[in-house]
Chains A and B, each alone.
Chain A
Amino acid sequence: MTALALDPGAIEAATDICAHCGLPALAGRRFCCPGCAAAFDTIQSLGLGSYYERCIAERPPRPEPSERYDLTRFVTARADGGKELVLAIDGLRCGACVWLIESVLGREPSVLTGRVNMTSRRLKLVWRGPVSEAERLVGRIESLGYRLVPFDPVALAAARDDTDRALIRALAVAGFAAINVMLMSIGIWAGDAAGLLDSMGPATRDLLHLVSALIALPAIAYAGQPFFRSAIAVLRHGRTNMDVPISLGVVLVTGLSLAQTLSHGRDAYFDSAVTLLFFLLIGRVLDHRARGRVRATVELLLTLRATDVTVLADDGTAARRSAWSLMPGERVLVGMGERIGVDGVVERGSSSVDTSLVTGESLPVTVLAGSAVFAGTMNLCAPLTVRVTAAEDGTLLAECARLIEASEARRSRFVVLADRVARRYAPAVHLTALATFLGWYVWGGAPLSQALLTASAVLIITCPCALALAVPAVQVIATARLFQSGILLKSATALERLAEVDTVVFDKTGTLTEPSPALVRDGVDPIALREAAALAAHSRHPLARALVAASGNVPMAEQVEEHPGLGVAAGAMRLGSAAFVGMPPDDGACAPELWLSRPGKVPVRFTFAERPRHDAAETIVRLRAIGLKVRLLSGDRQASVARIAAAVGIDDWRAECSPVEKVALLRQMGERVLMVGDGLNDGPCLAEAHVSASPATAADISQTLADAVFQGAGLGAIAELVVTARRAKGLMRGNIALSLVYNALMVPLAVAGFVTPWLAALAMSGSSLLVISNSFRVRA
């Protein structure tokens, strides 16, 4: 709960602290609401009271009325007769929450496994018995204040990340081989350096080489696969990337070393080949991990918002079902304050609909029987019966889908920095090695084996270990840093594209402004507000939430009944639509408003309006200060766009843009644009722009399309994104320069034939460590 501008009156009334959630409670009471009292009782009766002492972070969330899910679809049967369900958990604060949930489940005889994964915030539940048993168990956890949403087992299996494990296995094998081969190599070098070769004997050296080969060959064949596969894949398409010189270098060096070993030669480079793979795999694993974690988080955010819809059968009975299972022609009942989960046509009822996520309009749109409504919009005033239609061509959604497809294809042509370098680097390296060989063999008259050995030393020295680490090392550290400040970077190339940005284009509704409307405070009676908030705390309606947010922490009223689609009532007090409190409805559209009626008093009206995010103006000043142009493109009406533009200080704005116009305008700008938007209507722009970002409150499709998703109430993330990206890009270039300088120093030595295996190993590891440690400067 945000404690903005607490009313003095609210504090007077709330003198005690709820024993469960820690929010204010009515004077003399132990709890703020019946939900908390029930949760406290449950915990105490199970003998888990020490939970409250274990809480090291915040107190548990206040239990709230939750939506019911039909769990049947999400359950998988196991071979041992148990049933399994994976759920996303919202509300985990610290280890104590994990302990509490697992302990509560552990005391249920039907539960076989109840294990919380704190990293991915999932609960795996295995139990014996019918599905209804799981519903009871889920209800029990929810009554403690956590929110649980089931994962679809099919989607879960599809999203399972096998690459991560394969990479770590390869890393382990490469590490094992690197250590053991190095053990042999040091023996050989030591013998070499101390002039003990004679006493050691060529037979011993050959033995050590042979053992090295026996370790290195299978290890390289296994651990090198990620590189070999990727190299073959790009070569097939007639292109090249960093994996091509890596694979070629490793294969050639291994082959030559093997030839040396078999012909009783003096130098073999097995240690260099495996160490190289080990270093490169570290970069790969970190890179993959950072992005895998972000993917999992976004996935979780989306799941938490998936909702069921109420389907009306022909005989008039209602059932909750998942929106995915609907067929065109079915009828769905959408209550007041509920998100419309389907595309369809209104069959019965009239209401106003908040379409801000779809069209960007801030004022609700009135819908009557026959009006089209879209998934993702919010029904504000009265229940609607909607007939489901298939998405047809010509609708807004189909139009957006087409634009997005076209833009995505264009963007995939972006070539990352590392690949641009690789395109020039790979041929240069291979030509140098070839020239060295020819130089020694043809013009220098050296024996074949010596010429080959010198050429292979060139290959090892130039093997782009530091170069291949240059970009991912910075990316991992920058991504982790952004993750900590609540910014999820989804695309691997986003940092590089962000660094090039010269213009930021904002959408208005939900991006520059708060995602939900705020109470208009002018002339609001503080006592009425507090009483209304006590009622509103029982509802999930967005306007009710806005009331609660505006009044600070207010104890919840007791014995409150929710009348779906109308409002809430406690005894004679009522809070809800005009009709609910007996006022004549406003003519025309019902603006976002709530009415409070109390016995013996005139009903009070609360109106709501959108307001800019608290740090919007500040962020825009900061963006200008770092040399960016800021513009505003909105689908909303002139007047409201002008008002918000003036409030945040943007003078370059356009209103009433359709998605097609927005994309056309973006293209006209021709600049490297960072698009920040949240609505479905911004989808094409998010895909078209050079790089894009969405708040975590955005429509699902926008979050999927955006390169970065930022959480939290502020826009400060945008400035931080650009600043971090610029610093990261600078460091990437610095790293590449470092590794090129290292090459410029070492290649002449290698060409001249001065490089021995130990010098190669030292130089390679040294340059890799230098690049990795330089990358950590991105944190500063």
Chain B
Amino acid sequence: MTLHRSMLTLTALLSLTACAAPLVDKVVGRVAGISAGSAAVKPAEGAPQIWFTLTGRGIKFPMSLISQRDGVNVYGSKDGSQVFLRNGMLIGTRGFGRDLMSAATPTPASLRAGIAQPRSYYDLDGADTSLRHQFSCKIERDPADPNHVSELCVADIGTIRNEFWFDSAGSISKSRQWMSQGVGYAAVERKDG
């Protein structure tokens, strides 16, 4: 938070010296009856939920299914952030800062079968330039728990370790997956009740 405040200081310095600020542009924002109400996409009543944890930030919150298309479930939180899960694999996030814009991931079946596949993560740097991070991966099985699989991946930006827990039907019931350099890991759990 100190960082944020420091930036504000710099902004303050800049705004302070901006002699003749642009004028009317700011007024235009109130055209056409736009209310500043919540911009978050609302889930349907009783939509399925997951627990989502930003492990680095120590925040856990529920997210509700807001869209299901093309084999991907999109879950949204109350404040409008979103995650994209394809069969439980995290392939996108929106609204967390350094978001995962898209990803190529292995399928749960190949993970479970112990077949390693490369991963591609796409994110944006602070200047909104798209970056691709290519990881090569290997699979580690948990000798004590046949339903627990770890995926170790390495790229120029570092090593990551994704972990998956499968249910008896072969679906991912719980996972800890890497999101981005800025955010770190996220844990996803079914909220079956």
Are A and B a genuine interacting pair, yes or no? no
Interface residues of B (CB under 8 A from A): none
